[in-house]
Amino acid sequence: MHNTDIMSLNKAELISFFERTGEKPFRAKQVFSWLHKKQALSFDQMSDLPLKLREKLSADFKINSLKTVKKLCSKKDGTTKYLFETYDGSLIESVLMKYRYANAVCISSQAGCRMGCKFCASTLGGLERNLTAGEMLSQIYEIQKDSLLRAGSVVIMGSGEPLDNYDNLIKFLSIINSPDALELGHRHITVSTCGLVDKIYELAEKKLQITLAVSLHAPNDDIRKTIMPIAFKYCIDDLIKAAKFYAEKTKRRVSYEYALIKGTNDSDECAKELALRLKGSLSHVNLIPVNDVKERCFVKSDESRIKKFYEILSSMGIETTIRRKLGSDINAACGQLRRGVKEQTAFEKPKLR
């Protein structure tokens, strides 16, 4: 039992552990609040618990914290990118974005990724492992502590495919909105997926109020297959059907991510085909000029092409935005920082702060 990661237990699980071992349930609530509200990193800090209980907890559980390996702050817009190391040496990235109305934290759901999207740096080394619910939460806690800011929203758009780590994602979602934790409403959380159709249905049935972002990046299967291997498993019709089902069940607008890649998916025809596919659904398209990744040869579309693409979608009644680029001077695109350090650490381990 000594190795059980206590940060990943939701309140019901913690209460059940306490009951099984003859402790009062209110103690579980206290511990939960120490971990997730006050964000204690050791049982010694839990000063209102009897010493005996603290000793028992130390024997049964561990609190896994994240070490900050690197931190980069954009001079342009204050976006801060963090590279964290897990207890077992995996590297993960998270980003703090400062908007006028709130601060958003972007977190990773896996170390690495096995989805293989051709334009994405996170997937270059494959999947290392799933992150626990505690490790997803710790990214937010560490960033809040470091920046002295509160996360007004959380997007799960860092490295990894959250729906490929479904059970831990659900646990994370159940902890984060608890009144004894961050109390962050699900409406302020976005889960981004490359399109695991079965899991989208499963999530929809839970009727949570989280926003679903679907990384579409193409208007048809032929183009999608050239950039996203997941398109061989699930066709675009089924993916959009699942996303529409999600919108119907939750009454939440689905957001479609579309990275514009020069000469691949950015023609007028692509825009028209995309608009026809999405017409009439509760949706929103987010156009993102693709970020150049050193190991990949994709280039972002020209400004004028992006504008034209936007205009076609808008004129055909599709709600569209062009994503404002934050942190462009600090490699803020998915997986880029981790990748950079991995290359460097093949020879030399970076100094921990």
Cβ proximity to ligand SAH: between 105 and 293 the closer is 293
Question: Phi and psi (nearest 5°) for 64?
Answer: -85, 120
Q: Which of 140, 208, 259, 332 binds ligand SAH (CB under 6 A)?
A: 259
**108-130 burial, b if ≥16 CB within 10 A, otherwise e?**
bbbbbbebebbbbbbbbeebbeb
Q: Report the residue from 133, 257, 332, 339 that binds ligand SAH according to the rule CB under 6 A.
A: 257
Helix (H, G, I), strand (E, B) or coil at 292: coil
Least distance in Å: CB of 198 to ligand SAH? 15
Structure tokens at 138: 């710790």
Tokens of 284: 């929103």
Kindly provide the b/e burial profile for residues 275-304, where b requires at least 16 CB atoms within 10 angstroms of the residue's own CB.
Answer: bebbeebbbbbbbbbbbebeebebebbeee
CB of 102 to ligand SAH, least distance (A): 20
Query: Which of 333, 337, 338, 341 forms a contact with ligand SAH (CB under 6 A)?
Result: 333
Q: Which one of 85, 93, 161, 257 is the catalytic residue? A: 93
The single residue of 117, 120, 194, 334 carrying the catalytic annotation is 334
Question: Min. distance of Cβ 259 from ligand SAH in angstroms?
Answer: 4
Q: Is 70 helix (H, G, I), strand (E, B) or coil?
A: strand
- Cβ proximity to ligand SAH: between 6 and 213 the closer is 213
Backbone angles phi, psi at 302, to 5 degrees: -65, 155
Tokens at 214, concatenated: 């679907």
Q: Which two tokens stand for residue 286?
A: 């987010």
Contact residues for 231 (Cβ-Cβ < 8 A; gap 6+) = 195, 218, 221, 224, 225
In whole angstroms, give the CA distance from residue 140 to residue 154. Answer: 8
Pairing of strands 153-156, 189-193: parallel
Half-sphere exposure of 117 (CA within 13 A, CB side): 25
Nearer to ligand SAH, 23 or 128 (CB): 128
CA dihedral 71, 72, 75, 78 (to 10 degrees): -60
Residue type, 269: E
What span, in angstroms and rounded, lies between the C-alpha atoms of 333 and 157? Answer: 10
| Shortest Å, Cβ 115 to ligand SAH | 6
Per CB under 6 A, 293 contacts ligand SAH: yes
Q: How far is CA 125 from CA 106, 116, 130, 162, in A?
A: 21, 9, 14, 17
Is 242 a binder of ligand SAH (CB under 6 A)? no
Q: Least distance in Å: CB of 121 to ligand SAH?
A: 6
Q: Toward ligand SAH, which CB reaches closer, 9 or 204?
A: 204
**Piece in contact with ligand SAH (CB under 6 A), picked from 76-84, 87-95, 114-122, 203-211:** 114-122
By rule CB under 6 A, what string of x and - marks binding of each residue 135-174 to ligand SAH? ----------------------x---x-------------
Q: How many residues bind ligand SAH (CB under 6 A)?
A: 18
- Name the residue type at position 182: L
Q: With binding defined as CB under 6 A, does residue 310 bind ligand SAH?
A: no
Is 93 a residue of the active site? yes
Q: Which range touches ligand SAH (CB under 6 A), out of 13-21, 129-137, 189-197, 264-272? A: 189-197
Q: Can you tell me which of 119, 141, 246, 309 binds ligand SAH, judged by CB under 6 A?
A: 119
The reply to whether 215 sits near ligand SAH by the rule CB under 6 A is yes
Query: Counting contacts by CB under 6 A, is residue 124 touching ligand SAH?
Result: no
Residue type, 165: N
Is residue 189 a contact point for ligand SAH (CB under 6 A)?
A: no
Q: Could you say whether residue 334 binds ligand SAH (CB under 6 A)?
A: yes
Instruction: Examine residue 320 and tell whether it contacts ligand SAH (CB under 6 A).
Output: no
Nearer to ligand SAH, 37 or 296 (CB): 296
Binding site for ligand SAH (CB under 6 A): 115, 117, 119-120, 157, 161, 192-194, 215, 257, 259, 288, 290-291, 293, 333-334
Active site residues: 93, 334
